[in-house]
Amino acid sequence: MLIRFWGSRGSIPTPLGYRAVRTKLREALLVARGHRQDSLEAIDSFLVKELPFSISGTYGGNSSCVEIEAGGTENEYVLCDLGSGVREFGNALIAKHGPARKSRFNVFLSHTHWDHIMGFPFFTPSYIPGNVIRIHGCHKEMRDIFIRQQSNPCFPIDFRSLGATIEFVELEPGRTYEIDGLSVTPIRQNHPSDSYGFRFSKDGKSMVYSTDSEHKFDVLTENYPFVEFFRDADVLIFDAQYSLADQISVKEDWGHSSNMIAVELAQLARVKHLVMYHHEPVLDDKMIEKVLGETRRYAEINGSPHKLTVTSAYDGLEIVI
């Protein structure tokens, strides 16, 4: 399985403004003083080896969208969520193959809050006849919500006039389905209006996509249902939007978790690789990088014998399992 991130932000897209770009350039130039940059290779090496990612790159501005490549046919695609990142995915697909090639998309929708569906009106393949888009989820009202999103006066193009064949497939939590060569199991999560996580498995490998889910600190025991759901996952994509202090105080019951709870759950479940996801829009790249460092240190000193790799998701990140 190849996991590719097209959108990693939570709640709302957060593009970089000119001040943020200028600050990154200024900091990069300050670090570059005294380094010889006399070739493209030297410049590339400097960017990778000398600069922290918060300066040389960005954790991204698009809202939730993750692609899974699982060895299916060339024109079949699997996506988790349809945030603004799906626009980038669609544009990349058209640029690579052109608009004439017909494709099939299996989408797994965690829930219908706007940041997880807002990219669909800008998903170019949905306008092309011959494409098939199957949106899988556990919410009965999926079709109605997509229609409302693209209804007058909110959007100029009606959902029902799109060229692609769009189907909605209702799934039952706790039941395992075979879809595009993947075994897929949904689980209900604690979030306003409900959200659902998905476990994807194939050939002994597994990935869990679990965003927009609040886990209370006092329920984290071996008997907690999510420990078993996450058990031995090769990759766990986890909503770590808040700090622990925010989650248990002013933002309690807002439906999101923290980096510390992410570590606790991942270590209890013996997860191999934790990917923190759905980043808080208030956090800039330096803040996210700081949270990542603190989380890695916490995973090391937490007392668990289980070794855990910790990453912060960013648009363009690819992970192979």
Name the one residue in this structure whose structure tokens are 């949905």: 126
How many Å is the maximal CA-CA distance in the chain? 61
Mean pLDDT of the 300-320 span: 93
Q: 96 vs 81, 92, 99, CA distance in Å? A: 22, 6, 9
Residues in a beta bridge with 172: none
Q: Please, which residues have CB within 8 angstroms of residue 68's CB and are 6 or more apart in sequence?
A: 1, 2, 3, 4, 78, 79, 80, 182, 200, 207
pLDDT (tens digit per residue) in 131-184? 999 999 999 999 999 999 999 999 999 999 999 999 999 999 999 999 988 999
Answer for the pair 56, 83: CB distance below 8 angstroms, yes or no: no
pLDDT (tens digit per residue) in 210-248? 999 999 888 888 889 999 999 999 999 999 998 878 877
- Host H or E run for residue 45: helix 40-49
Answer for the pair 111, 83: CB distance below 8 angstroms, yes or no: no
Domains of the chain (ranges; CATH) run 2-14+58-320 (3.60.15.10)
Residue 292 has a pLDDT of 96
Nearest alpha carbon to residue 186 among 243, 94, 195: 195
The first and second tokens of residue 55, run together, are 């300066």
Name the one residue in this structure whose structure tokens are 């013996």: 270
Q: Please, which residues have CB within 8 angstroms of residue 225's CB and are 6 or more apart in sequence?
A: 187
pLDDT (tens digit per residue) in 31-75? 998 888 888 988 888 888 899 999 999 998 999 999 999 887 778
Residues in a beta bridge with 197: 187
Mean pLDDT of the 117-137 span: 98
Q: Please, which residues have CB within 8 angstroms of residue 179's CB and are 6 or more apart in sequence?
A: 78, 106, 136
